[in-house]
Structure 1
Amino acid sequence: MNTRALHTTFLAFMVILAAIWVMPLAWMFSLSFQPNELLARDTGNVLYGLIPFPFTFDNYIALFELGRTPQWFVNSVIVSGVTTLLVLVISSMAGYAFSRLAFFGKNVMYALVLAGLVIPEQAIFIPLYTLFADMGMHNTYAALILPRVALPIGVFMMTQFFSDVPPELEEAAKLEGISPFQTFLHIYLPLARPVLTTLGIITFLYSWNDYLWPLVSAQQPDMFTITVGLASVQGNFAQSEGLGRLMASGVFASLPVLIAYLVFQKHIIQGFALGGEK
């Protein structure tokens, strides 16, 4: 088999895999625009739900009529946005310090950071909950954001990237009398843009989809994130309101993440490519 045939076979295989991956999303999107009455009585159709006919926005209108859905969406935007920003700042600065600066106990501290990669999240829920309860911080944005700011994988990614930057750049900066912080700000950060974008998308995705900690920390409905809020009414959708409204809630919750990926997919691919090369 020649190279052209191999390329064609590989491309066809990837298209099939992509279609299999996209099909559930397309099906969910289509179901969200169909009347619940039709979905309830037409389950025997082979093309059940694949074609949105008749087309309706009633499921999305009903979703917003819940009253708190816009507030839950705003809460998720605030929590995910601030968490992502803080993770990028802290991880990039920590990565630069671990890779380029010499200080007492650096290796021990870095080992402790890496140890955080193997500790299950659920193992620290009780002490974490007790800590924020003692400070009276539950049902606040701070309680939803701060536990997610320390991201060991972010520190690891930035440390590995900065370690592979040619040291000649730093030496040239020293000859020009530039401070370490200015070197980090004006030389290292611009070079790390693809990796920062990748880390930002990963953090935003993780924070947006986070369910367990917001469920534990936010007991008041006004402080629910979109995942917790929609889950709190999901039983109502599935049992009495219909499959269409359940799918509409899924589309609404996942849409910001899909948009973010489509906008930044070029940078994400560059970030993973750089990681593979290193």
Structure 2
Amino acid sequence: MSAPAPVLTGAGRMVGRSSGDRVILGLTMLGALLMMAPILWVIGLSLKDNKELMVSMNAVFSAPYTIQNYINILATSSVFRWILNSIIVSGGVTIGTLILCSLAGYGFARLNFPFRNALFIIVLMGLAVPEQAVLIARHQIFSWLKFHNTYQGLILPGLSAPFGVFLMTQYFRAIPKELDEAALLDNASRLKIFWKVLLPLTLPAQATLGIFTFLGTWNDYFWPLISGTKKEMYTLTVGIASTQTNFAQSEGLGFLMSQAVFAGAPILILYLFFQKYIVQAVSGAAMR
């Protein structure tokens, strides 16, 4: 058996691709196809007439296809208001989380103040508290403040992000303190050091935190269902769910799948645009 043909790289080195590399590449591609199969199945169902799917699910493999299910979604008068609500809520939670977590992370990593370690432990304990455990208390507080069916009522709970505080604290701690000392010698204030020197170095972590926060908020269903009870304050997930009939899974499967695609498309596009920042953040964390 002859050796694999060498490949000339841009640096002029001769690199041979072994059969093991080909096997790994093939398995990776197979795994990717298996992971994409449910997505392709959902898209295929969304492009079929509901009556055809009631006869046989195999209809998804043959023409004709239709976009009528998506037209039916857009025909709902409130759907664009629901999209706007989701954008406002997800954007507000994301921006607020980045600001608060960056400031808290800088404080825990760089500043000395009383009970710093104890407060950091209390923040981390928030990771162990499920949302359902505080749901009744939160509902009562927001009812007393009259925050239900308002944007602040949908946004404020999402600003509690102990994982974000932990992530930003670890990133700030990984930055050499010599940068702070050099800036202090130049008479820079703490705020200027944070804003001009350290914050730009944490952009990969901020991008990752921002993306996951946006995705989590966009897909959130539980709290918006409780807090936003008026139709004009529905987020997209709650609004789309409200359009389903009691027999949607049996009589309107194509329409149901088109709703899933319609709700998931924006966050998929967001991920495709910002995936390189996720890779940078993960690789940076691994190096640290």
TM-score after normalising by structure 1: 0.94
**Which of the residues 159, 166, 173 maps onto 1:156?**
166
The answer to whether the aligner puts 1:18 opposite 2:29 as a matched pair is no
Paired AA for residue 179 in structure 1:
S
Check 1:226–1:25 CA distance in 2 against 1; reply closer, same or farther (3 A cut): same
The two structures, once aligned, show a CA RMSD in angstroms of 1.7
Q: How many Å apart are 1:243 and its aligned residue?
A: 1.5
Aligned residue number for residue 199 of structure 2: 189
Give deviations 1:10-39, integer Å, cap 9, x for gaps.
Answer: 222221111111111111112212222222
Aligned residue number for residue 143 of structure 1: 153
User: Are the equivalent residues in 2 in contact too, given 1:75–1:226 (CA < 8 A)?
Assistant: yes
Structure 1: how far apart are the matches of 2:151 and 2:21?
Answer: 50
Any gaps of 5 or more consecutive residues in structure 1?
none
Q: Look at both structures and tell me which one has the larger radius of gyration over its CA atoms.
A: 2
**Which of the residues 26, 46, 50 maps onto 1:36?**
50
The answer to whether the aligner puts 1:266 opposite 2:276 as a matched pair is yes
Q: How many Å apart are 1:40 and its aligned residue?
A: 2.1
Paired AA for residue 90 in structure 1:
L
Number of equivalenced pairs: 274
Structure 2: how far apart are the matches of 1:266 and 1:81?
Answer: 20
Aligned residue number for residue 175 of structure 2: 165
SS across alignment from 1:54 = coil
Amino-acid identity (%): 43
Aligned residue number for residue 100 of structure 2: 90
Check 1:271–1:50 CA distance in 2 against 1; reply closer, same or farther (3 A cut): farther
SS across alignment from 1:234 = coil
Paired AA for residue 164 in structure 2:
G
Q: How many Å apart are 1:240 and its aligned residue?
A: 7.6
Paired AA for residue 163 in structure 2:
I
Q: How many Å apart are 1:219 and its aligned residue?
A: 1.0
Aligned residue number for residue 49 of structure 1: 60
User: Are the equivalent residues in 1 in contact too, given 2:249–2:256 (CA < 8 A)?
Assistant: no
**Which of the residues 211, 227, 244 maps onto 2:254?**
244
Any gaps of 5 or more consecutive residues in structure 2?
1-15
Aligned residue number for residue 215 of structure 1: 225
TM-score after normalising by structure 2: 0.91
Check 1:217–1:208 CA distance in 2 against 1; reply closer, same or farther (3 A cut): same
Aligned residue number for residue 5 of structure 2: none
User: Are the equivalent residues in 2 in contact too, given 1:84–1:200 (CA < 8 A)?
Assistant: yes
Check 1:66–1:241 CA distance in 2 against 1; reply closer, same or farther (3 A cut): farther
